[in-house]
Amino acid sequence: MDQQTMFLKTPPAKLFFMAALPGAIGMLASSLYGLADGILVGQFLDGTAFAALNLAFPFVFINFSLADLIGVGSAVPISIALGQGRDKQANNIFTCACLMIFSTGILMGAVMYAAAPWLIAMMGAEGQFAAFAVQYLRVYALCSPVTTIVFATDNYLRICGQIKGSMYLNILMSGLSAGLEFLFLAVFGWGIWAAALGTCLGMMVCAVLALAPFALGRMKLRFCKPQFTRSMVLRIASCGSPAFLNNIAGRVTSILMNMLLVRLGGEVAVSVYGVLMYADGFIQPILYGACDSLQPAVGYNWGAGRYSRSRAIEGCCRRAALVISLVAAAVLFAFPAQTAQLFLADASAADLAMAAGAVRLFSLTYLTRWFSFWTQSYLLAVEKAVQATVISVSTALVFPVALIALLWPLGLTGLWLNFAGTALLAGLLAAALLRREWPDLTRPDAPAAGPAE
């Protein structure tokens, strides 16, 4: 089935199952490398190594966020351009975006490698704790030029209708990364630096495999002679800013939380926070896949003036997000100790009890998180980037920081409750913005028009 038939003519419910299910599986698979990273380090190394991993990873994620900014930011205008029949414009945006990702990977990798000791010391870590974190961070920095683009290629494959191909590639990446990491840690007995190396090697292989069909001209999108324009770069930045600012703000919040946790509870508190982040890292990609896998279809229909179809597709995403979130909340609430033990193999009974209590409080997050997540995705797909950015930044930074101050008297319990409080406030903000934008979102369909180049 070609892209136009799938996006414009497939019934919304069928399109959802064709795109969102493989997308969710693919996004989950792409995130499992991080989950496997935490489990393998927690099982085969020690508690200090696991805490160091969690201390360093927000900085790793900031580096990946720049690629996500360009990947997501270019995907929206590419989809709309294709919906309008402007294939040459779409190919130029695609080519320029890939060059931008590679260039920022070189720059950010160099900065991150040089600044790694200072960044970790700033967090309050010392001794072996700090040394492990620097080792982990520097491996990612060295591999940055090749690894970062793998996250953007997922968007481009979905735009070209290669939803299952994207899913298979993400499964391969997680399997390869986890396999290499197991080999390095469990068989060779190497240190935490090898955990990062195994993941990076898996990403490198999949980045090459993902770009090959574009380079060979086998996709709807093709590489061309790049023509950078100021308006194109600004449009990419505008469309990618919600995801980017959400990632950056979220990592800034994680860094702030880790600094407080080091001082309030030491390595153990940082490790418990890591358990919550890994749990979220398992659930959020499923939400992301269910909602954002259909962004190309929503943007394509929006660009073609099929507004009612865009709304119908998003209705399927909304219901899926609700179901996924409620199931996640129930599982985390019912199995908190088992969740914690996946990562804290050598923890004491007291530490496991603290972690289980934190997981139960964290489970409340998903009772409301689904609504702001879906609203942000919808607004971004129809190029309402400012409104989506407001939700993302508020969710990732403004609300968490405000709640840190408000819940400070509760100590560590206040930090664990921060997530659920943030999700509730984000849901209320999303409802207010959605209500304000509703007249434009419910506009009637435009008259059919022929393609223009």
Nearest partner of 208 among 257, 146, 259, judged by Cα:
146
Contact between 275 and 344 under an 8 Å Cβ cutoff? The reply is: yes
CA distance 314 to 371: 12
DSSP 318-360: HHHHHHHHHHHHHHHHH-HHHHHHTT-TT--HHHHHHHHHHHH
> What pLDDT score does 453 carry?
36
Q: Which of 115, 100, 210 is nearest to 145 (CA)?
A: 100
Q: Phi/psi zone of residue 347: left (φ > 0), alpha (ψ -120 to 50 degrees), beta?
A: beta
Measured torsion, CA atoms of residues 391, 392, 393, 399, in degrees rounded to the nearest 10:
70
How far from 26 is each of 69, 171, 263, 288, 291, CA to CA, in Å? 19, 6, 38, 10, 13
**Tokens (6 digits) for 426:** 């984000």
What does the pLDDT read at residue 449?
A: 47
Radius of gyration of the chain from Cα atoms? 21
394 DSSP assignment: I
CA distance 295 to 316: 12
CA dihedral 372, 373, 374, 377 (to 10 degrees): 120
For 79, the token pair is 């989809």
pLDDT value of position 451 = 41
Q: How far apart are CA 126 and CA 119, in angstroms?
A: 12
| 28, 44 contact by CB (below 8 A) | no
What is the structure's pLDDT at 423? 94
| pLDDT in single tens digits along all 453 residues of the chain | 555 566 777 777 777 777 667 766 766 666 666 777 888 888 888 778 888 888 888 888 888 888 888 988 898 889 888 878 888 999 999 999 999 999 999 999 999 999 999 999 988 888 898 999 999 999 999 999 889 898 788 889 888 878 778 878 888 888 899 899 999 999 999 999 999 999 999 999 999 999 999 999 888 899 999 999 998 998 888 888 777 777 777 778 888 888 888 888 888 888 888 889 888 878 887 887 777 777 777 777 777 777 888 888 888 888 888 999 999 999 999 999 988 888 887 778 888 889 999 999 999 999 999 999 889 888 877 778 788 888 988 988 899 999 999 999 998 899 999 999 999 999 999 999 988 887 777 778 876 544 433
φ, ψ for residue 359 (rounded to 5)?
Answer: -65, -40
CA-CA distance, 16 to 291, in Å (whole number)? 9
pLDDT at 366: 93
Alpha helix locations (H) across 382-411? 385-393, 399-406
343's tokens: 């990562």
Within 13 Å of residue 314, how many CA atoms lie on the same side as its CB? 26
For position 59, what pLDDT does the model report?
87
The CA–CA distances, whole Å, from 348 to 99, 135, 154, 354, 355 equal 49, 27, 41, 10, 11
The ranges assigned to domains in the chain are 10-441
Half-sphere exposure of 376 (CA within 13 A, CB side): 29
Q: What is d(CA 438, CA 125) in angstroms, rounded to the nearest whole number?
A: 48
Taking the CA atoms of 309, 157, 149 and 280 in sequence, report the sign of the dihedral they define. Answer: positive
DSSP letter (8 states) at residue 448? P
